[in-house]
Amino acid sequence: MHIALIGVPIDLGADRRGVDMGPSAIRYAHLNQKLQNLGYVVHDLGNVPVPIPETCRMTEPRLKYVDCIVPVMRRLSGIVSTSIQKKHFPLVLGGDHSLSLGSVRGVARLKRIGLIWIDAHGDFNTAETTPSGNIHGMPLAALCGLGDRRLTQLWDEAVPVLSPQRVAVIAVRDLDPGEKTLLRQAGVMVFSMEQIDRLGMTQVMERALDHVSRDVEGIYLSLDMDALDPRHAPGVGTPVSGGLTQREAHLACEMIAESGLLIGMDVVEVNPILDVQNQTASLAVELILSALGKRVWSG
């Protein structure tokens, strides 16, 4: 398989600075070499150009930096779509989670996909429900057709690019009241950390994969590193205690790989400023490898 590696050094969607350095930190953790060691051909496409906040005006407090974010998402969506057309696997490195507006859309424009969203947060707010105005809390809602038209339709798409009935959100433990309501109304499958504790990660992933893989051409994985407990991933912008262990996260990625349906992936919210000796970026690399088939033992 050929992998198109795409960096998106964006921190416009979040309040806390630093995730713009995430793509560099993940690359620095020897991602390219480790992918090649797994047998992949890596095409590093560099970084999508992203303006810094100091050059952007924040004119809408409930949609912070929307006018700077949307052009970046359009460029990213085009790059990802081109990768899919070349039959390359898009691997997108963030950057805050607003980038999924472009990465997921770039695949969903061409393929009927299911989506696994592993995250401490729902990212299902709109301008009406958001308590912060940060767009990294809105991408999943927008992909499902909810929210401001500039986010739901980067161009002039007539319908949502993603069916909420083909989405599974895993490891949530911090949901805003408004997005709880929207998630229920949309029919998104949600597994909280409480359900993971009760059912175990194997059963959760079996249910999620069965749900999102019906009548699709592939599965996309969006992995927010704050899904893991801060003990394992301290370098994230919005840490929430009580998250996934390293083994639970690896198992989730391993089961996605075993499905044989993974056609694209993004890894987001690595913040080197808050990290300890690049621990979070290094773990991100290992989880990427698990999602792409790495095993300690295959017998």
Active-site option among 226, 229, 248, 275: 226
Domain-located, residue 106? yes
CA 215, CA 166: separation in Å to the nearest integer?
A: 9
CA–CA separation, 154 and 98 (whole Å): 13
Whether 297 maps to a domain, the answer reads no
Residue 298 domain-assigned (yes or no): no
- Is residue 22 in some structural domain? yes
Torsion angle, alpha carbons of 209, 171, 249, 216, to 10: 20
> From the candidates 11, 96, 97, 266, which is the catalytic residue?
97
Nearest to 171 by CA among 212, 139, 199: 199
Residue 30 appears among annotated catalytic residues: no
The DSSP code for 162 is S
2 is catalytic: no
Whether 299 maps to a domain, the answer reads no
Residues 6+ apart with CB under 8 A from 166: 113, 114, 115, 211, 212, 214, 216
224 has catalytic annotation: yes
Q: Which two tokens stand for residue 34?
A: 């480790």
Q: Which two tokens stand for residue 31?
A: 């991602």
205 within domain boundaries: yes
Q: Verify whether residue 194 is a known catalytic residue.
A: no
Q: Tens of pLDDT along 93-128?
A: 999 999 999 999 999 999 999 999 999 999 999 999
Asked if the structure places residue 296 within a domain, the reply is no
pTM, to two decimals: 0.97
Whether 119 is a known active-site residue: answer yes
Q: Which of 96, 136, 248, 266 is catalytic?
A: 136
**Encoded tokens for 20:** 């713009």
pLDDT on residue 160: 78
CB 266 within 8 A of CB 93: yes
Which candidate in 11, 96, 119, 248 is catalytic? 119
The helix or strand, by DSSP H or E, that contains position 4, with its residue range, turns out to be strand 2-8
Catalytic residue among 20, 121, 229, 275, which? 121
Question: Which residue's structure tokens are 């390293």?
Answer: 246
Structural domains counted in the chain: 1
Annotated active-site residue in 11, 20, 96, 123: 123
The stretches in the chain having pLDDT less than 50 are none
Range of the domain at 201: 2-291
Pairing status of strand 89-94 against strand 113-118 = unpaired
5 closest CA partner among 48, 38, 37, 39: 48
197 occurs within a structural domain: yes
Known catalytic residue at 97: yes
Residue 112: per-residue pLDDT: 96
Residue 197 is inside which H or E element, if any?
Answer: helix 193-199
Q: Tell me, what's the pLDDT at 155?
A: 78
CATH of the domain at 279: 3.40.800.10
> Which tens digit of pLDDT belongs to each residue from 168-177?
999 999 999 9
88 among known catalytic residues: no
Cis peptide before 95 (omega within 30 of 0): yes
Judged on CB neighbours under 10 Å (0-12, 13-18, 19+), 296 is exposed
Among the listed residues 224, 229, 248, 275, the single catalytic one is 224
pLDDT at 92: 99
Tell me the two tokens of residue 100.
């999924």
Of 266, 262, 271, the C-alpha closest to 294 is 262
Q: Is 136 a catalytic residue?
A: yes
Rounded distance, CA 270 to CA 267, Å? 8
Average pLDDT, the chain: 96
